[in-house]
Structure 1
Amino acid sequence: MVETEVLKPDAGGIARASALLRGGGLVSFPTETVYGLGADATDDRAVARVFEAKGRPSFNPLIVHLPDAGAVAGYARLEGDAARLADAFWPGPITLVLPLREGGGLSPLVSAGLPTVAVRVPDHALARALLARAGRPVAAPSANPSGRISPTTAEHVLAGLAGRIEAVLDGGPCAVGVESTIIGFDPTPVLLRPGGLPVEAIEACLGGPLLHRAPDSTINAPGQLGSHYAPVAPLRLNAAAARPGERLLGFGPVEAAALNLSPSGDMVEAAANLFHHLHALDSGGAMPIAVSPIPDTGLGRAINDRLRRAAAPRG
């Protein structure tokens, strides 16, 4: 057990957080998507502690966070369609799975032994300030116990990881509320995980449709486990109404919802509320949760992806 510090989002907090990271500590920090659990990506022990703290399967790779696109060159090759997407959307909620650069110094635990690494530049001033001050590539999955609901506030992080990590840099609630969209290149761009950047925007930038990863493909990027983002309570999807003994997580103008992702049907509002509302409903015990149908377009794809994984059979 360690005493988990809560750091303010100021110069002192950034300095303390960066010192902890450079010393092999684990620091949770906010991004525009969710709170990440950061470790020095060149430090094998620190990265191993991420897996330990989260109880995360070692075959599930981590995302390396960097302060700007220029920092990528030291660790991965950014070219072609990947460079186009980086120019268009970084900083922002998109992760690119790139070929590892030999001699870059990243721990092999970060990429789970694969020849590629997932990289992104977050669109959050506090996160980029921390990354710049730390001067290290930071491996940062979501700051929650593996398979549980992703955190969008410092309080969520502390509820799951207090005593397991050194600090949380409290930057308030996350604006986007679902993890980044992940794009791989094989060599054609392929959607590996829907997320905070809609697929339509990516396809418009590329001038053509993305390929889609087959559901039973080998895990080659974060967020591809079948059961993931799961509350303790069982989840039932596409529910017209709650059954006796269930609580309804609504979307749109539905009646009798315990909580509603967006009464007006706003996908951005729904994405931002998703994990917060799941946390709130799950805190009431193991009473089953029913979820209203959500359109599978734009950010709805990311929301439905998270909900399907949350509702998947638990192995």
Structure 2
Amino acid sequence: MAEVIEVGEGNGAEAIARAVEVLAGGGLVALPTETVYGLAACADDERAVARIFAAKGRPSHNPLIVHVPDVGAARAVAGTWPAAADRMARAFWPGPVTLVVPRGASVVAAVAAGGPTVALRAPASAITLAILRRLGRPVAAPSANRSQGVSPTRAEHVVSSLGARVDLVIDAGPCAVGLESAVVDVSREPARLLRPGTVDLEQLRAVLPELVPYDGAGDAQRSSPGQDRRHYAPAARLSLVESVDLADAARRAPGPTGLLLLDARPDLPVAWSQVLGRDPRHYASGLFAALWAADAAGCRSLIVELPPRSPAWSAVLDRLQRAAAPG
């Protein structure tokens, strides 16, 4: 089983030193971020990067996000640094926005799935930023779970999913944001939103007005993760259902059945239920943990009350629709 260091008062320096030691030696470290826990390896180490793909069971065509501590480190990794990247990074880093830019030679080709671009982000986690600064090298870090499964927002999710496939887990508690970053491709014009995040399109356009939504259709070469039709999926069969149809869906679903709700529904007795509410940010922060809990409760079916179809909910809807896609 993986080594786990729980970060608390007085042991931050120990956790940082141990993480740097493992990463520098070619190991895999689960690092906490504000979005989800990432499975990190040095992005300039071909063998270490290969271990990420093997540990996750991730297909080689699916690129990884590279994590850096700041804009200066990002510029050193990029082949070129577009003006749009500079504007976005200075507005949103550290934070849950990833920028796709031309790839520099220092990044292993497999990180970018062999493509000409690389996805970069500076995470808003004090412990992870300290590790990146001490290491002095960029790290590739997709979500620390098996491919297509529910992303981990707690250290125990990482251990449950990966076990001994990861060398070290830095446990800094639950992730505050809870959904993966928005991904913006600034390597071409106009810039394109490849994956929605909790920083929504309106907020992104306030900095980059020319930004357009894009679903990746027609691109032979992927430049961003999170594009699989099925992703973020629990073991339970997930169905998205309108509020008025919840009772009928609960009656028909193979049990044990779980419910994930916007509002409490005591009239729907099922094996498991959780209310995440109508605040999209609060809902996002608890979504993946709720999916993990439904699986832990033994749910065979999970019925999810369909959230509002509005821009504020776009990231949540994206994750739920991919989780509900047929396997």
TM-score by length of 2: 0.90
Tell me which residue corresponds to 1:225: 228
Separation (CA, whole Å) in 2 of partners of 1:293 and 1:24: 43
Runs of at least 4 residues off by over 3 Å: 214-218, 252-261
**1:163-187 per-position Cα deviation (integer Å, ceiling 9, x unaligned):** 1110000111000000000011332
Alpha-carbon RMSD: 1.6
Query: How much does 1:196 deviate?
Result: 2.6
Separation (CA, whole Å) in 1 of partners of 2:16 and 2:135: 9
Separation (CA, whole Å) in 2 of partners of 1:295 and 1:266: 10
**1:43-83 per-position Cα deviation (integer Å, ceiling 9, x unaligned):** 11100000010001110000000011110111112222221
Select 2:208's aligned residue among 200, 206, 209. 206
Query: How much does 1:261 deviate?
Result: 4.7
**1:275-314 per-position Cα deviation (integer Å, ceiling 9, x unaligned):** 0000000123351111101123344111111111111111
Select 1:5's aligned residue among 3, 6, 10. 3
1:189 aligns with 2:191: yes
1:259 aligns with 2:266: no
Query: How much does 1:8 deviate?
Result: 3.2
Tell me which residue corresponds to 1:304: 317
Tell me which residue corresponds to 1:81: 84
Separation (CA, whole Å) in 2 of partners of 1:203 and 1:94: 13
Tell me which residue corresponds to 2:162: 161
Tell me which residue corresponds to 2:302: 289
Structure 1 residue matching 2:164: 3-state secondary structure: coil
* Kept after mapping to 2: 8 A contact 1:259/1:277: no
Separation (CA, whole Å) in 1 of partners of 2:6 and 2:302: 35
Structure 1, unmatched stretches of 5+, are none
* Kept after mapping to 2: 8 A contact 1:195/1:299: no
CA gap of 1:130–1:261, structure 2 versus 1, over 3 A, is farther
Query: How much does 1:133 deviate?
Result: 1.2
Q: Write the mapping of 1:1-315 to structure 2, written as runs, cut at 5 A.
A: 3-9=1-7, 10-76=12-78, 77-101=80-104, 103=105, 105-185=106-186, 186-215=188-217, 217-218=219-220, 219-240=222-243, 241=246, 242-244=249-251, 245=255, 246-255=257-266, 256=268, 258-263=272-277, 265-314=278-327
Structure 1 residue matching 2:132: 3-state secondary structure: helix
Structure 2 residue matching 1:232: 3-state secondary structure: coil
Separation (CA, whole Å) in 1 of partners of 2:288 and 2:259: 15
* Kept after mapping to 2: 8 A contact 1:249/1:261: yes
* Kept after mapping to 2: 8 A contact 1:94/1:120: yes
Separation (CA, whole Å) in 2 of partners of 1:261 and 1:70: 42
Query: How much does 1:194 deviate?
Result: 0.6
The letter for the 1-side match of 2:146 is P
Structure 2, unmatched stretches of 5+, are none
Percent identity reads 47
Count of equivalent residues: 309
* Kept after mapping to 1: 8 A contact 2:261/2:274: yes
**1:128-166 per-position Cα deviation (integer Å, ceiling 9, x unaligned):** 011111111000000000110000000111111111110
CA gap of 1:191–1:159, structure 2 versus 1, over 3 A, is same
* Kept after mapping to 2: 8 A contact 1:237/1:291: yes
Structure 2 residue matching 1:15: 3-state secondary structure: helix
Give the number of the structure whose residues are more often helix, by fraction. Answer: 2
* Kept after mapping to 2: 8 A contact 1:64/1:120: yes
